[in-house]
Every structure is written in C-alpha cells, then in structure tokens.
Structure 1
Amino acid sequence: MPEARRPSPRAPLHVQNRLRAARRHGHALDKALRRAHTYAHPAGSIVRIETHISVVYLAGRYAYKLMKPVNFGFVDFTTLDARRRCCEAEIRLNRPFAGPIYRDVQAVVPQARGVALKRAARRGTRDGVIDYAVRMRRFDQHALFSQRLAAGVLGSADIDAAAHALAVCHRAARRAAPVRGGRGTPYGSAALLGQQVFDALAPLERDVRSAAFVRDAGLRTWCEASLARVAPRLDARRAGGFVRACHGDLHLDNIVRQGRRALLFDCIEFSEALRWIDIASDLAFLVMDLRAHGRDDLANRLLTRYLDATGDFGGLAALRLYVVYRALVRALVAHLKTPPADDAAHATSAPSAQPGQRYLQLAAREASDRRPPWLLLCHGLSGSGKSVASREFAALSGAIRISSDIERKRAHVLDAPTLGALPPQAYTREAIDAHYARLVALATDVLDAGYTVLIDATFLQSANRKRFAELARRMNVPMLILDFHADAARLKERVKARAAGPRDPSDAGEAVLTAQMASAEALDAEERRMTVQLDTDVPIEAFSDTAWWAPLWARMNAAADSSSA
C-alpha cells in the first residue's frame, strides 16, 4: 500500500511516529494482498487500483477495498479504529446507491504465510485484527462509465439509466440533515459551501502548476460573486429539504453499467459535510465530469432526463457554481495524487500536461460563460413531434426543457410524474390557465439562473403565448416560437401509435387532436416575425442532427451578432 502522508518536521512527535508506523504497516499489508494465496477463494491474477485515500484489490469474483493510512486533514485514517468505522460506513451508506455490489466488512488478520481475511465482528473485539477491508462483488471494469467513455461506447441509454438512478436515490434519501458541521456551520448551507469552495481553491492558488492559470481565470473573484448571488437561494433550499444524504463523489469512475441499470458506488463515507449536500451539487458532479471529458451532449442529456424525473428546476440557480466547485475538487485530487517533483519543471511544462488541467479549464469556461439566455416556445398540434425534437435540442444546445405534459402530472417537486391518464377536470379552461401560470413560474426560475429555456407545450391559444411574451419583455430576454408541423395524416398516425405504445406523459388522442385542429388560434403578425418553421415529417433520427436545427441556429446567431454589433 502506498505511503501515508509524510509527517511534517513541525508536527508533534506522536503524530510523526504514528504516520511513520502507518507507512510501514501499509507497505507490508500491500505486499501480502498482492498474493493470490491470501484469499480463501480462487483469486487469479490480482489487479490493484489506487486512489489518493484507498487501494482496491480485484481478486477473483470479489474486490477488497482498504483505506490507506493517510492523513490529508479532511480525512485521517492513520488509526485502525478510524479505518474500521470508515469500512462499516461504506457498506451502510452505499447500499441505497449500489446494493448489489456491497457485501460486508472483512477483518485482516495475521497468519503464518502473511495475512488472511475473515468476516469482521460487528462491534467490539478486534482479536489481533491488523486492518479492515470492504468486500464487494467484482464487476467488469469495462462497464465503468469512465471506461465506456474512453472506448467511445458511453451512450444515451447509459446516461438515461444514470439520471433515473440518481433521481430515485435523491427522492428516497434521508433529509433530516445534522444541524451543524464540524466548523459549527450547517450542512448544505451557503456558508459551508463557501468554506468548501475556497478550501479547494486555495491549494490550487498556491501550487506552482496551477497558480497562474487560476489567477488569470479570475476564479476566486467569480466564486465570491456567485456565492454572494445565490446564498439566499441555497439557504432557502436547505430549509425546504433539498439538502439530503447524497452520494457526494459522483464522477465517471464511480458509476458502472449493470444490465439496464446504472449503479452509483463508492459514495462519500468519511465526511458528513461532503455527504449532506444539496441534491443539485450531487448532480453537478457528474454533469461536470462529462463536460470535462468533452461530452457536453451527454451532460446536457443527463440534466434533461434528471429534470424530467424530478422537476427540480430551482436547483439550476447554483448549478454553475456547483460545477465549478466540483471541477476545482477534481483538479485538487489530481494534484494530491501527483505531488510536484520539480516545481521549476512544472512551471514551464505545457498546461495540458499538468495534472487536473482539464478540470481547471472547465472551471474557467463555466466562469467565463456570458451567453444571454433565450425563451423558446414550442408550437404545434399533438403528434407534431415537438416533444421528441425538443428533447434532442436540449441535449444538443444545453437549453433547459420544461415539458408541459410531464409537469402537469407532477404533484410536487422531486415526485415522479404519473403516466396514467388524468381526469377530464385537469383539462378545463381554468385548469389549463393555472397550468400555464405554473409553466411561467418555472421558466422564470430557469431564466433567472441564466439558462435558455425551451417550453414544450402546444401553445395553440393566443393568451398563453402572450403570457410568455410578457415574461420575455419583463426579463429582457429574446424569444422565438418554434413551429413544429407535419401533414394531418402523419399527425394522426403518430397519435395512434403513441396511444398503442408504452405509457406516455401525453393524454392527447385522436379526439384531442381533432379538437385542437378546430380551436387552434393562428399566430398573429408579430408572432410570425419571431417564428422558426420546423418540418417534422422526417425520420426521428433527424432531430439529433445539428443540421436539422439550422434554421433555429441561424436565427439565434443572427440575433447574437446584431446585439453585439
């Protein structure tokens, strides 16, 4: 096992001695666990995987994870009791996220040929135990999201499964957060987030490999301004129950595909402050990691699917800040794993060759994003393809899509939408007016967070379109109407196919389509000037092709050029 953190000459003598002993212990144990005969089952060739705080040994059908005897300040595993508590917590806390993987805690005991592993007693006696390990069911390393991404096979089904799993876990997560953290600051509060952000940023500002980049990007100034802006929202969300027992470390190395499921493993177990967080911070970690690896399309799809599942549009207010914070954390972890051997060499090396640089570059990109948001309205009859198409546009563009059909069937934020047909009273004039008022409120939150919003609704009545035109004027954002259309035969064919297929959020059948055709109010002259025509009588695959959206891109780019001239 790699060395514990080297003791500082200024550290107390007892701390120096404990760390030196931990280093000797780690080396001896690592040597034993690399041998197949250590294990009570066929182990084959041992594969060893190391992080900055743990080592995992892949042995046969199991994996054994040991905590390294390190002290990084935020975590101290230099005592046996600390490592035992961490292993027990890892089993208990990870089961909601990845139950099929986690088995039990194993005690490491000495024997004539080295060490052996046996199931640990629940509490109390240690009986010569020299360490503890988390025993997990081994999975195919190629099924890791990080490996699938590297192989070019991480796709839409993976992202949809991850979004679903995360939404389910967040919905069921404990929400009775401990009142105060270790520094006397409430978990999940804006004050604690500020401490965490600057705890990650400060070492990067001091490190010769990153200091100049961090300074030139203005990350400290941006973080200070962002925290000041969103602090009231964060504390309001904490009071509203959005701070929950989360995963806390949701990057691509900690998600594995198992059948049609995505299992989220290796959650934070050593820090309550890093685990009891706003659910938007948990989501932001994976959004960040996908963006840092150049897959904005998958990050956008994850966000779209998660919001469809939870309706937590309020979390967008701090999402960009959370993404920057998570990027800083990953950059810092990269630095911890590769301490500089030669400061001068690192100072002159290419930025792309330095550890964690992709994360710092992402943080700088997010902090410098000044694109103004747009208000985009879908317009079209049932069966016009606007729902399928708008979902694909959200993945391509990063726009936040709000589905009228989904939100109509959601009782409360975080609830899964029901897919059964609603009663007739849900579609009275009064109910429809109230529903569009709610869509206006949701769109306001999204625009206020700085994101383009795309409202997926029919917008067949002039009064509803005017509500959003007024919103655009009030928030001083540009608006476009996306007119999705196909011939009448195709509309009927799609509506019939939807009714016969899997359950769908839309309740619109042929009778509704006929009523829409008779009652739809035409766009007026002003609305037609802000309308983009989109013919959906094409194969469904066309919606995911950027070329199909060329008329919309052209209008948005022309407006951007005009405003900057």
Structure 2
Amino acid sequence: MPMSDNPTSRHVLNRLRAAHRHGRLVDAALSRASTYAHPAGRVVRIETHISVVYLAGRYAYKIMKPVDFGFVDFVGLEARRRCCEAEIRLNAPFAGRIYCDVRQLLFDGRRCRLGRGICKRAPPPRRDDAEVIDYAVRMRRFDQRLLFSNLLSHGELSASDIDAAATKLAASHRHARRAGNGPRAPVARLGSAALLRDQVLAALAPLEDDPRTADAVGRSALRATCESELARLALHVDSRRAQGYVRACHGDLHLDNIVRSGQHALMFDCIEFSDELRWIDVTCDLAFLLMDLRAHGDEEHAHRLLNRYLEATGDFAGLAALRLYVVYRALVRARVALLKAEPPEMCDAPAAARGITSYLNLAANEARDMRERAPWLLLCHGFSGSGKSVASRALADMSGAIRVSSDLERKRRAPFAAPALDALPPGAYTQAALDAHYQRLVAHVRDVLNAGYTTLVDATFLKAAHRARFAALAHELNRPMLILNFHAPHARLAERVNARARGPRNASDAGAEVLAAQIAQADALDAHERQHTVDLDTDVAIEAFSRPQWWAPLFGRLHAEGGKI
C-alpha cells in the first residue's frame, strides 16, 4: 500500500506537517522583540536538535521543538509543557538562580505574546480569549563569554573555576535523590548493569555503521573492550546502585553547560526528558565533564577536577568504572558531533570533524588504558610542615595520579560526606585510633589501585608498622611501590606549622607540639625501605612543586624502572 493510502502513515505525516507549521509560527514570534513585555533588543537565536533558545534583553527563553526522535516526543503541547516544568524543577540543584519560571505563549488570532508564569501544580490557565500555543522556559541571561567552553578556548579557564565546579557537583550529588528512595525516585532498572550495557552499545553501534567513523572504531577494538569491561564490572555497577550511588544527576555535563558566576560554577540544561539518562551513577555524571576537558586537550584541569571531587566526596570506590564511563561519554559526544555534521551547509563541518576525531581518539586511548593498567603506589613520607600535602596535590594535578589524604579522610564522618575541618579531640590521635585510621586508608588505596590508577597516599608514615601495611598491600596486588621522602630543616618545619596554625581552617590539626613529638618518636626508614625511597628537598618556594623539573628525581626513578604515573 502506498504511504498516502495508509491511514497510520497519513496521520503521522499530517501530525509532523502541523508541527512544522506550528514551529515556524512560534519561531517567528519569539524572534521579534515586540513579543516580549520587556526591552529585548536584538533577539539572538540558538538552536539544538530538540530546542531553541532566544536571547532577549535580560532573559533567555527556551522552547522545546515539536519533534519526535523516538527517545523524545515533543509534538504534543502537553508534552512540551511537562518538559518545561521539569526543566525548572530538575535544574534547581545545579543552576542556582538561572531558571525563573515557565511562560505561556499566547495567540489571539492576530499576534503572539508571552503570558505570566504558570503554576506548576495547577492546569495552565487561559488568558482572555487567547489560545495557549506553546510554553517557554524563562531564564536569567548570562554572559556567554563565561561559559566554560569559551573560557577554555580563550585560555581563561582557571584552577579556581575547576575547584568551583568540583565543589558544586559534589554538593549536588550529595543531596540528590537516590534511586528507589523517595516519592519521585523511580525504581525500574535505572542505573543497572543491564541498562548501562544497552546504553554503551547503543552509543557505539551508529559509529560502527557510519563510513566516516567505522575504521577508527574498528581499529581501536572499542566493541571488544567495552563488552569485556561491561561484563567485568556488572557486579560493581549493580552493587553501587544498591548502595545508593545511582541518583538524580545532571546527565549532560559538558563544557557548554557550565558557566562561571562570580566565584561559583553553575550547571544548567540538565537532562529532563529521560529518566534513563538522568538517574545514573554519580561517577558517570562526573565522567562527562572529565571526558570533555580531556577531549579539548586540558588534561591538567581534568586531573584537578577528579582529585578535588574525590577530596569532597571520598568516593574512591566509584573509580572502578570511571574509564568505562569516560569511553561511553566520548562515544555519545562523537555521535552528537556526527549528527551536527549533517547536513554540511547547516554547520561548521571542519569543526564537527575535529570534534568527532578528538572524542574517538580519547575513547581509544581510554580503552587502551583499561587493557594496560600499570599503577604505582607512592607513599608520601615526612613530618608535619614538610610540604608533602601541597607537593602531592601539585603532583596529582600534573600527572593524573589519585591522591588519598590522611587528614581529609580522618575528618570524613560518613561515606560521601564532606570532610569537617574542625579540630578533632585528642582521642582521635591515640595509637588505637591511628591504627584504625590507617586501616581505612588501606581500603581506599586498594580501591584506587584496583581501578588502575597510580595512588599518592598523603600521610606522615612515620611509623614502620603503618608503612608495612601498605608495602603488604602493594605485594598482594603485585604493584610497585616507592616512598617519597619529603624533608626540610627543622626550623622550616616549625615555621610552616606555626604559619598554618595562624591561617584559615584546614584539614591538619598538627601544631608545634605535635611536630616535636613526631621528631622525637618517628621510626627511621630502614635499609630495605631506603632502596625504594626518592628524596625530595622541600626547602623551596611553594611554586616549585608545580614545576616538572622539581620532580625530576621521581620521574627519573620511574623511567629507570620502566614505569610512569
């Protein structure tokens, strides 16, 4: 039967034609300054596959296009209203004051105008005899130059921006609803290993089939690696879900969806149309931004983001699937770049091609790292004031190693909680308490090493028994270990400890008395430990720690032993 004679086909075709006519009417209206009740100036239009944003004066208005892509159907007016209201509600934890309300677009037979904000719990009211033809999300407009993507392209994305993003994301994840917990928290199979498998392979399949990407995907053995990792990590993924780490996340956390706002980072335009893409493991949410930074060549900021997020959450167990999530996110963005390259006259084709290449290269490199894990265990040994905490932070940002801080973990009162920086009572530093604390550190380090990441353990390690525990762990896991011996004259140690005591609160409780006790009671490194020790003189300006040449003794030792961080 020809398509024109098929009633179902005719209905679908007529529905799409009507949606197209409707889209032209709405677009024309919102492109005119006179539609708005406030000064709009020159209206700027920004279009994606499923939405259009109109920048008008102090505000931005976002509408959902009346399209049906299968995974999302916005052809119906009621579906667009629900989506707009969900966007306001779901973006609140991430975006601060950016989102205002949902506005009706009214048509009285002669012209379109924007109505007042609608109530979220009541049916949308009609105004006079005007017909409600669409809905728009109203947002406070921000300076586009402050988007993380633009800051990065102009070399202006700073370390403080990354710290703000890590802090914001950790706090949002900490307070997000958990799957199966609460009246609006779905159960189903969201965040499960079975669903993750479907999602990863669904992202991979179009890239395997497209002649522009098939060769690169095939050469990288991405399918074999993904299937192997999905099987290996299935129990881990389902266990994380059972433990409450599948939460209501952002779901689309790339550089174009984050903006600098003073000293803060605001995240907007979260996934609102798909529970499957939004209710995910928090590590999968973090992986999107990590991936995008790396795909844009900003490895150091990606390292910093990961370490600051882990400092804020202590979620070292989540690292087990991080590389798989990074591959998945890279495949998704490669697919989006591929779609943007069609048709060529509608986009910057060379830029789209570069995007596809960068994402596929990142996925291939990450897949290789999943197959070739070779992490080291690095113990940071030294007295309080030796500079080991500042230095190890700098090394982690520089190299991609994961830093586990004794001071921070001692003050983390519950899993996934932020460390409390208040001074601990004396009972927290008894020998029994210290032994228990080091045992917890061993568990964290085991998670990091098993995930395939070189681990920097920032602790004093002044007792031989504590060092021995980690040496035993390295032996058990068949991982090489080095002791990084940070040292400086005693006068410089005292100076730094006293200066820290006068400064703002920090994770360390060590003062002059603690330093004196450490010097008197420390167990010296024995001859065997000395064979695996790299000495680092910290009697230098703090800026030296961020220079690769200061770390030459460590990098040289690693190179000599055929290793790298």
**TM superposition score normalised by structure 2:** 0.93
The match for 1:423 among 422, 425, 443 is: 425
Task: Spell out the pairing of 1:258-297 with structure 2 (5 A cutoff).
Answer: 258-297=261-300
Paired position in structure 1 for 2:526? 524
Distance 1:119 1:487, change over 3 A: same
Paired position in structure 2 for 1:4? none
Aligned residue for 2:63, secondary structure, equals strand
Task: Spell out the pairing of 1:190-339 with structure 2 (5 A cutoff).
Answer: 190-339=193-342
The residue identity in structure 1 corresponding to 2:234 is A
How far has the Cα of 1:99 moved from its partner? 2.6
**TM superposition score normalised by structure 1:** 0.93
Once the two structures are overlaid, the 10-residue window that deviates more, 474-483 or 48-57, is 48-57
Paired position in structure 2 for 1:87? 84
The residue identity in structure 2 corresponding to 1:200 is A
Q: In structure 2, what is the Cα distance between the partners aligned to 1:440 and 1:281?
A: 25
Are residues 1:34 and 2:19 paired? no
Summarize deviations over 1:242-281 as a string: whole Å, max 9, x none: 0111111111111111111111111111011111111011
Aligned residue for 1:494, secondary structure, equals helix
Are residues 1:151 and 2:150 paired? no
Summarize deviations over 1:130-175 as a string: whole Å, max 9, x none: 1111000111111111111111010100000000001111111111
Q: In structure 2, what is the Cα distance between the partners aligned to 1:10 and 1:423?
A: 77
CA contact (8 A) 1:103 1:135 kept: yes
Q: In structure 1, what is the Cα distance between the partners aligned to 2:493 and 2:10?
A: 79
Paired position in structure 1 for 2:363? 363
The residue identity in structure 2 corresponding to 1:520 is A
CA contact (8 A) 1:185 1:191 kept: no
Are residues 1:466 and 2:468 paired? yes
CA contact (8 A) 1:52 1:333 kept: no
* CA RMSD in angstroms, aligned pairs only: 2.3
CA contact (8 A) 1:177 1:243 kept: no
CA contact (8 A) 2:407 2:508 kept: yes
The residue identity in structure 1 corresponding to 2:12 is V
Q: In structure 2, what is the Cα distance between the partners aligned to 1:155 and 1:299?
A: 12
Paired position in structure 2 for 1:381? 383
CA contact (8 A) 1:177 1:276 kept: no
Aligned residue for 1:45, secondary structure, equals coil
Once the two structures are overlaid, the 10-residue window that deviates more, 512-521 or 531-540, is 531-540
Aligned residue for 1:103, secondary structure, equals strand
How far has the Cα of 1:368 moved from its partner? 1.0
CA contact (8 A) 1:400 1:454 kept: yes
CA contact (8 A) 1:177 1:245 kept: no
Q: In structure 2, what is the Cα distance between the partners aligned to 1:399 and 1:25?
A: 53
Q: In structure 2, what is the Cα distance between the partners aligned to 1:292 and 1:435?
A: 38
Q: In structure 2, what is the Cα distance between the partners aligned to 1:163 and 1:114?
A: 46
Once the two structures are overlaid, the 10-residue window that deviates more, 235-244 or 118-127, is 118-127
Aligned residue for 1:356, secondary structure, equals helix
Distance 1:146 1:354, change over 3 A: closer
Paired position in structure 1 for 2:107? 110
Q: In structure 2, what is the Cα distance between the partners aligned to 1:520 and 1:178?
A: 48
The residue identity in structure 1 corresponding to 2:498 is K
Q: In structure 1, what is the Cα distance between the partners aligned to 2:379 and 2:56?
A: 55
The residue identity in structure 2 corresponding to 1:60 is G
Aligned residue for 2:456, secondary structure, equals strand
Indicate the percent of aligned positions where both proteins have the same amino acid.
Answer: 65
How far has the Cα of 1:10 moved from its partner? 12
The match for 2:71 among 71, 74, 93 is: 74
How far has the Cα of 1:337 moved from its partner? 2.5
Once the two structures are overlaid, the 10-residue window that deviates more, 110-119 or 240-249, is 110-119
Once the two structures are overlaid, the 10-residue window that deviates more, 416-425 or 103-112, is 103-112
How far has the Cα of 1:340 moved from its partner? 5.2
CA contact (8 A) 1:247 1:268 kept: yes
Q: In structure 1, what is the Cα distance between the partners aligned to 2:202 and 2:179?
A: 26
CA contact (8 A) 2:101 2:118 kept: no
How far has the Cα of 1:364 moved from its partner? 0.8
How far has the Cα of 1:455 moved from its partner? 0.2
How far has the Cα of 1:198 moved from its partner? 1.1
Q: In structure 1, what is the Cα distance between the partners aligned to 2:461 and 2:246?
A: 35
The residue identity in structure 1 corresponding to 2:538 is T
How far has the Cα of 1:119 moved from its partner? 2.2
Unaligned runs of 5+ in 2: none
CA contact (8 A) 1:108 1:129 kept: yes
CA contact (8 A) 1:80 1:130 kept: yes
CA contact (8 A) 1:178 1:187 kept: no
Aligned residue for 1:560, secondary structure, equals coil
